[in-house]
Amino acid sequence: MPFFRASDPTVPPGQTVTDGFPILHVGDVPTFDPATWRLRFFGLCTHPYELNWDQLRALPVTEWHGDIHCVTRWTKKATQWRGVRFRTLVERAGTLPSVTHVLQYAENDYTTNLPFEVMLGDDVLIAYEYGGRPIEAIHGGPVRMLVPKRYFWKSAKWLTGIEFLEGDRPGFWEVRGYHNDGDPWKEERYADMPAWMA
């Protein structure tokens, strides 16, 4: 049952803690075939590459435990994710010094953008396990991005690619009025809207 802790300093402003795990996405849940699954790294880098399923699973595993925050005002505490640290995969691509932003690509033409600096954090994972099990398809399995410092729309489910950019390029929700940066602690929910109105 959801409950509200208005003064809990561990919950960002305007959020309600939920025990459930809501499901939010556009389009249908895609099917996963490990034989054909690929994750592409491209854009401004000296070594664009792609990983297949076995190659991704052979990379060092990192874990992150913590809270996730959706712009629709639910926060889920103490989630547990496992996957590969995004920064490791960036280093392998040899990004150019001019890279300023990263665009995540996913199934169903979903995209979302963030500054390169945010994506290089220790807590940013290309995740394939949730709560000790493979991420369910409805939650973005086999592989989703996890950027816990931002609202959850910045964590693409069914990740298919990563583009390194010079300059920013707004993604699916960002061009539809969501905030470009989406920091839950600053209540950056929607663009051009004062926090008191959101």
Ligand X SMILES: Nc1nc2c(c(=O)[nH]1)N[C@H]1C(S)=C(S)[C@@H](COP(=O)(O)O)O[C@H]1N2
Residues interacting with Mo ion, by CB under 5 A? Answer: 24, 70-71, 153
Q: Which of 70, 137, 191, 198 binds ligand X (CB under 6 A)?
A: 70
Angle at 39 between CA 58 and CA 37, to 5 degrees: 80
Cβ at position 157, least distance to ligand X in Å: 4
Q: For residue 144, give both structure tokens.
A: 């989703």
Question: CB of 44: closest distance to Mo ion in angstroms?
Answer: 28
Choose the stretch contacting ligand X; rule: CB under 6 A; options: 10-18, 22-30, 81-89, 94-102.
22-30
Give kind and range of the element (H or E) at residue 66.
strand 62-69
Choose between 58 and 175: whose C-beta lies nearer to Mo ion: 175
Q: Kindly report the CA angle at 113 between 18 and 183, in degrees rounded to 5?
A: 45
Closest CA to 148 of 116, 172, 124, 114: 124
Binding of residue 153 to ligand X (CB under 6 A): yes
Residue closer to ligand X, measured from CB, 101 or 150: 150
Q: What is the DSSP letter of 117?
A: H
Among 23, 61, 175, 193, binds ligand X (CB under 6 A): 23
> Stretches 1-9, 15-23, 50-58, 94-102: which one binds ligand X (CB under 6 A)?
15-23
* 185-197 b/e (C-beta count within 10 Å ≥ 16 → b): eebbbbeeeeeee
Nearest residue to 104 (alpha-carbon basis) of 113, 96, 116: 113
155-194 residues near ligand X, rule: CB under 6 A:
155-158
Q: Between vectors from CA 8 to CA 4 and to CA 10, what angle results, nearest 5°?
A: 115
Q: Candidates 52-60, 94-102, 149-157, 187-195: pick the segment binding ligand X (CB under 6 A).
A: 149-157
> Which region among 44-52, 91-99, 153-161, 182-190 touches ligand X (by CB under 6 A)?
153-161
